[in-house]
């Protein structure tokens, strides 16, 4: 059978659970910031698997690490230690300034674990288990994580777990009104991804940290999308100098290999006892070896500085387009959201047809989260395609 975008799409619709509104394209290979579909069409990847492929595709260091580890040891059990897990644990602790790490397989799983750690600590000091999150947040699609988020994601999955509250983003007064002695933790994305690339205000985060200290409430930073170099710092928290009690990671941590992590300070970690949490696949040798290769490449290829330079270049070039329907460019590093005066899904489809992958989020925001090592020439083409697609939309109005 010769594969085409059409016949593979038909197979997908026949066999796969229909929960993704997929575009009619099937990718077969990638190299750098480019991917090719099964019919040989080439695309610039300005989405990076939604902020996952931080090194792009087929990065030689990452591929080598995966190949070498696959030839040694794929899986044992967390009854035993493996070398990449031990080395990666130390590396993440050194980078983050936190004290303990637990490895998971995804972002949602990391948030679930963070909630468990926070509740166990809160109960140990006589507090309740309530979790406060923020409007516009996204922490995953498990039952507990959808309880933190949008009501539309909860419909049909009732009963939704209790013990969760939401307050307006960047509003400390609302936090204080919502918090009680039942509050175990407050969870926040330093930069909201699915919510439209909304940045938590520095003054707000610092005061939130102070308030959590005063009340002995656990502060959780969800850096699943904004962490691992995405913003031009290893973690988004480093832009503001605020240290959470717990931080969750995933996405770029494995550069495309599934891995999540929960990092925590000793205060909250000390509440966890043997058997309180566990995982079969979390921290497996393959995923940890991939993660070490990602971190090594970010450092050796100076990708943090490169990311900040590319952010400045992108912002400047987009502003030069003088598109009157652009309301705002938000974000940090190569986690940018361009907000328009209209829904951006039609623009994303036009960009796809012109060979550029991007994403619409929060209805009116075009999300651009390419590999950190994307060449400027590719970014230039991304900007050109944004302009071309916008002009086509306006002509057809």
Catalytic residues: 138, 222, 251
Count of other CB atoms within 10 angstroms of residue 378: 18
Inter-CA distances, 26 with 7, 23, 132, 238, 306, Å: 10, 8, 39, 37, 31
- Show Cβ contacts of residue 250 under 8 Å, excluding neighbours closer than 6 positions: 104, 106, 107, 110, 224, 259, 260, 261
Task: Give the span between the Cα atoms of 261 and 254, in whole angstroms.
Answer: 10
Q: Is 2 helix (H, G, I), strand (E, B) or coil?
A: coil
- Confirm if 44 and 33 have CB atoms less than 8 A apart: yes
The stretches of the chain forming alpha helices (DSSP H) are 5-15, 48-51, 60-70, 83-96, 107-124, 143-147, 172-178, 202-215, 266-269, 285-300, 303-320, 345-353, 376-395
């Amino acid at each position: 059978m010769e594969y085409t975008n059409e016949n593979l799409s038909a197979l997908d619709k026949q066999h796969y659970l229909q929960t993704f509104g997929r575009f009619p394209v099937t990718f077969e290979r990638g190299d750098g910031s480019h991917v090719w579909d099964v019919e040989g069409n080439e695309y610039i990847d300005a989405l990076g698997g939604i902020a996952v492929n931080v090194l792009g595709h087929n990065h030689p260091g990452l591929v080598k690490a995966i190949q070498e580890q696959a030839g040694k040891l794929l899986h044992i059990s967390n009854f035993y230690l493996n070398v990449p897990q031990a080395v990666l644990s130390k590396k993440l602790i050194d980078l983050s300034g936190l004290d303990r790490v637990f490895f998971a397989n995804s972002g949602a799983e990391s948030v679930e674990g963070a909630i468990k750690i926070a509740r166990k600590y809160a109960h140990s000091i006589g507090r309740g288990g309530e979790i406060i999150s923020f409007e516009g947040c996204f922490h995953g699609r498990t039952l507990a994580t959808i309880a933190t988020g949008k009501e539309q994601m909860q419909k049909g999955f009732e009963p939704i777990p209790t013990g969760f509250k939401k307050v307006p983003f960047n509003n400390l007064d609302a936090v204080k009104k919502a918090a009680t002695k039942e509050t175990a933790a407050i969870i926040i994305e330093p930069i909201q991804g699915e919510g439209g690339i909304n940045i938590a205000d520095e003054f707000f985060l610092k005061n939130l940290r102070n308030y959590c200290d005063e009340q002995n409430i656990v502060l959780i930073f969800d850096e699943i999308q904004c962490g691992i170099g995405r913003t031009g710092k290893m973690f988004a928290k480093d832009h503001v100098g605020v240290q959470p009690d717990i931080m969750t990671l995933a996405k770029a941590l494995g550069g495309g290999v599934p891995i999540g992590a929960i990092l925590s300070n000793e205060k909250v970690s000390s509440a966890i006892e043997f058997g309180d949490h566990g995982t079969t696949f979390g921290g497996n040798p393959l995923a940890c070896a991939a993660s070490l290769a990602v971190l090594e490449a970010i450092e050796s290829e100076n990708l943090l500085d490169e990311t900040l330079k590319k952010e400045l270049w992108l912002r400047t070039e987009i502003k030069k387009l003088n598109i009157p329907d652009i309301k705002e460019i938000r974000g940090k590093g190569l986690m940018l959201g361009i907000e328009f005066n209209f829904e951006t899904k039609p623009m994303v489809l036009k960009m796809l047809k012109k060979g550029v992958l991007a994403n619409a989020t929060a209805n009116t925001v075009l999300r651009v989260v390419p590999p950190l090592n994307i060449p400027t020439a590719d970014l230039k083409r991304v900007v050109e395609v944004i302009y071309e697609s916008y002009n086509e939309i306006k002509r057809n109005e």
